[in-house]
């Protein structure tokens, strides 16, 4: 590494992290951002300054996964509240929400253009959605595990 990452300058408690919380951390290296998720909130941090840039609040249960889009402009989160959400990195606003009958444990943007989202849920169903319209394009059923 060229240099070490800066200290974020706050305690875990000040960041809303409690003992026993599961924390997800994703680094978006091209834009020098770090994405964390704990409980029902994801947060976008500046690697350079260690400051909190956006709080992505809107899930009503624990977040399972979080990732940046390939262009770094959006964040995709999944949650025990049976939703996946797309967030605008610049504004922190929820741009789209997709649902299942049970918790969503993972989701990914389509490679390259990121026009689609594929979700996987505890209901043993995967769904393909259009990011811009929120339309469900396909449902994949029959998973046994």
Which pLDDT value is given to residue 2?
Answer: 37
| Spacing of C-alpha 91 from chain mean position | 15
pTM score of the predicted model: 0.81
Which pLDDT value is given to residue 79?
Answer: 94
Which pLDDT value is given to residue 12?
Answer: 47
Are 77 and 95 in contact by the 8 Å Cβ rule? The answer is no
Whole-angstrom distance, CA of residue 80 vs CA of residue 103: 4
Which pLDDT value is given to residue 8?
Answer: 45
pLDDT tens over the chain, length 145 residues: 333 334 444 444 545 555 555 555 555 555 688 888 888 999 998 888 889 999 999 999 999 889 999 888 999 999 999 999 999 999 999 999 999 999 999 999 999 889 999 999 988 999 999 999 999 999 999 877 6
Which pLDDT value is given to residue 3?
Answer: 35
Are 43 and 55 in contact by the 8 Å Cβ rule? The answer is yes
Which pLDDT value is given to residue 24?
Answer: 56
Which pLDDT value is given to residue 25?
Answer: 57
Which pLDDT value is given to residue 143?
Answer: 73
Task: Determine the length of the chain.
Answer: 145
Whole-angstrom distance, CA of residue 94 vs CA of residue 46: 20
Q: Give the DSSP H or E segment for 131.
A: none
- The CA-CA-CA angle for residues 129, 135, 139, to 5°, reads 50
């Amino acid at each position: 590494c060229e240099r070490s990452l800066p200290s974020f300058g706050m305690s875990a408690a000040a960041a809303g992290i409690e003992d026993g919380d599961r924390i997800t951390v994703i680094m978006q290296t091209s834009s020098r951002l770090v994405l964390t998720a704990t409980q029902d909130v994801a947060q976008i941090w500046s690697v350079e300054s260690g400051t909190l840039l956006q709080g992505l609040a809107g899930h009503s249960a624990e977040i399972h996964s979080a990732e940046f889009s390939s262009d770094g402009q959006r964040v995709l989160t999944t949650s025990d509240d049976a939703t996946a959400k797309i967030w605008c990195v610049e504004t922190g606003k929820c741009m789209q929400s997709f649902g299942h009958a049970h918790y969503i444990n993972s989701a990914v943007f389509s490679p390259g253009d990121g026009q689609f989202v594929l979700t996987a849920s505890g209901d043993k169903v995967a769904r393909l959605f259009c990011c811009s319209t929120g339309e469900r394009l396909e449902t994949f059923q029959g998973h046994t595990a």
